[in-house]
Chains A and B, each alone.
Chain A
Amino acid sequence: MSSKDIAVSVRGLSKSYTIAHNVEKHSTMGEAMLHRFKNPLQRAEKETFWALRDVEFDIEQGDVVGIIGRNGAGKSTLLKILSQITEPTKGEIKLYGRVGSLLEVGTGFHPELTGRENIFLNGAILGMRRAEIDKQFDAIVDFSEVENFLDTPVKRYSSGMYVRLAFAVAAHLNPEILIIDEVLAVGDAEFQKKCLGKMQDVSSREGKTVVFVSHNMGAVRGLCSSAIWLKNGQLLDYGPTSTVINSYLSSSAEHSKGFIDLKQEPRLHGWGERFKICGLSLNNGMPLMHGQPVSVAINFESTGSIQDVVVGLGISTLEGVRLLTYESRYLGENKDINQNTKGTISAQMECYLHPGQYSLDIGAGAGDTEVIDYLPACSIIEILPGPNTPHGLYDTFASVRLPAEWNWVTTQ
């Protein structure tokens, strides 16, 4: 290790949650007592789930470290422990510097309060002193680009303005160690760029330590000098960003051949058991090739009846830029699903993606507005060159290579 100072030191960090099985969770005291009374001898079948297990690492001062891993790998738990929101079950963290954490943009924003009032409220919630906010107020307003609406309640803001204002407050937080969770997933592209720029500033110019969780590999690559890869609560790899990201991506591609099982994937969105996409098979396990037809079959299960169900697939670059969207309501029909149904929806398409790796999003909706299941970046797919694919340097072109009818006309 270099002789730089350590900013964060984590030793033997573990966090467990208890999950009760068999027994329904009692959310009222009466239920809990009644159950106890009826089954005095039964011990609730409890399972201990380790969200983090024996994680150890050191982060040097001024480093920007990305934390990557699939949903449920323990990334958010790690951030929550680092920001003191929840306590570890075992282990110890030493933090050498003032910590500021940003797990969500606009925490505590109140719709009835004006922009100005929310700046002070949100600043205070993030741990800024009143005098600090006063000092930074103009810079915050400037960064947010909403100066004309400062005295308007934020419930009348567009979502873009809302996010800009919220991020502006957070960006002027002044800690020595900054902990950030996936906050860049919001806002328009231009503003995201501005936020990334601000973060880069924070680390390189001001020498701050940044710990950053993201699914956006582009952002992690662009910002972080090193990356930590978590899998099932354990630290799998820690090293230079590109090395760690590459081994993470290839392991994801590995497991996604043939049938992709999504039943146990943790969900952040949707209706839970009521409608669940259980998995999908791509081309019956045959390789996906540029210029060749692809078949997709998506399995789902429902426990409730749902009207107007739509299923969709999205293909994005590994950097998180969406390239293609397929939806069953485009040239297809919506379907009413009955209670306790199992089913499959299949689609045929031509694959014109450039050979390479892409990330797959899958989701389902009801009607035009409800998201009933959504699994962003649930798998990585690999496209191989097809028989007609021209040879050459694929990487230097766009991600989609389309056919067209070509006609030469020449005159002499």
Chain B
Amino acid sequence: MIESQPLRNAKLPPPVEPGGEPKQPHLIIRPSSGWAALNLRQIWLYRDLLMTLALRDVKLRYRQTALGAIWVVLQPLLGAGVLSFVFNRVADVPTGDAPAFLFAFVGMLAFTAFSSTLTKASSSLVGNAQLVSKVFFPRLVLPLSTVLSTLVDFAVSLTVLFVLMLLYRIAPGPQLLLLPLWLGLILLLSLGCGLIAGALMVSYRDVQYVLPVVVNLLTFASPVAYAASFAASKLPDGLQPFYFILNPLAGLLEAFRWSVLGGGEVQWGYVAYSSVFALLLFLAGAFAFRKMERKFADVI
């Protein structure tokens, strides 16, 4: 038993060590306001959680599906088949030297990396509402952990791509080494969008319904099955740059395809613009997320 009396309204001095120096607390909890630091150190401390959650997503993805990993292969193949048929055969859009199917497949590969990260990252908070309201951890871990399952899918599709290139007898050039750079930038861009969308989705579930529509529109508005320069050339004079400026994904998709297939007319100015845009959007998304995350547990 301790000899404590009711402590109501007692103003106590801070705890003091025998030596007379106030003891350092392990943690101080206070209300905060304004912008918060990203606190990467804390995310690093929780890296095991990040990995565990990422592995959970990968494992769960194909458990209790009959065809398992085959879906990862089939999805881009079917997508590329339909797109190349519509754009190349029906609409007669040129794809340069590259075979139309391969052209569309590479586009799909890059676009899927973007769209699946965006979709998964943005729904990661609402999908794990129980965790958010019951456990403390750096909230950024949730959207970041979704990247791994996208990467696994990407690796599988990339293997399929190399098999296709072998069949078409197309050898990649040295520019292939830049592929990870473009992939990284595409992921930053989609994470930037995903962080903002995810944070908004906590309060407004509309985002959940709007996002698939946006992704769907983007499939056609982005140079997935056609070359960006071809689409831009169809716009009235003077408006061509807007094709690239309004859709920062365009420059990155072009660069990605150039890395794999070579050739084509890549407009490097716009690629640089897209790259800077991706970096800034990611940072803006991360800071906005950190600012909004204080309300998550109360609102979700």
Contacts and interface: CB of A to CB of B under 8 A. Distances in A.
B6 A238 contact: yes
Contacts of B52: 120-121, 124-125, 130
Contacts of B134: 85, 103-104, 107
Interface in B62-101: 63-64
A59 to B, nearest CB: 10
A113 B52 CA distance: 12
Contacts of B23: 5-6, 96
Nearest to A234: B8
Given A101-B136, A225-B1, A9 B59 contact: no
A17 B298 contact: yes
B53 A113 contact: no
B12 interface: yes
A128 B128 CA distance: 19
A312 B257 CA distance: 68
A120 B130 CA distance: 18
Nearest to B10: A56
A6 B15 contact: yes
Where chain B touches its partner, the secondary structure class is loop
A85 B27 contact: no
Contacts of B6: 237-239
B204 A95 contact: no
A117 interface: yes
Contact of B29 (A29, A88, A101, A121): A88
A182 B288 CA distance: 35
- Report the interface size class on chain B: 35 or more
B39 interface: no
Contacts of B10: 56
B49 A124 contact: yes
B8 A95 contact: no
A326 interface: no
A236 B51 CA distance: 44
Interface residues of A, number: 65
B293 to A, nearest CB: 10
Given A58-B12, A88-B30, A96-B15, A226 B2 contact: yes
Nearest to B7: A238
Interface string B237-259: 00000000000000000000000
Given A98-B26, A101-B136, A238-B6, 11 more contacts: A29-B206, A56-B11, A83-B136, A88-B29, A93-B28, A95-B27, A95-B28, A112-B63, A127-B136, A235-B8, A239-B6
By Cβ-Cβ distance, the 10 closest A-B pairs, closest first, are: A94-B25, A6-B15, A124-B52, A93-B29, A84-B136, A124-B49, A86-B297, A130-B48, A95-B27, A29-B204
Interface of A: 1-3, 5-6, 9, 17, 27-30, 32, 54, 56-58, 60, 63, 80-99, 101, 103-104, 107-108, 110, 112-113, 117, 120-121, 124-130, 176, 225-226, 235-240
27 contacts: A6-B23, A27-B205, A28-B206, A56-B10, A80-B297, A81-B29, A83-B135, A84-B29, A87-B31, A87-B32, A87-B294, A88-B29, A88-B31, A91-B30, A94-B27, A95-B29, A101-B136, A107-B134, A107-B135, A124-B51, A124-B52, A124-B53, A125-B137, A127-B46, A128-B48, A238-B8, A239-B4
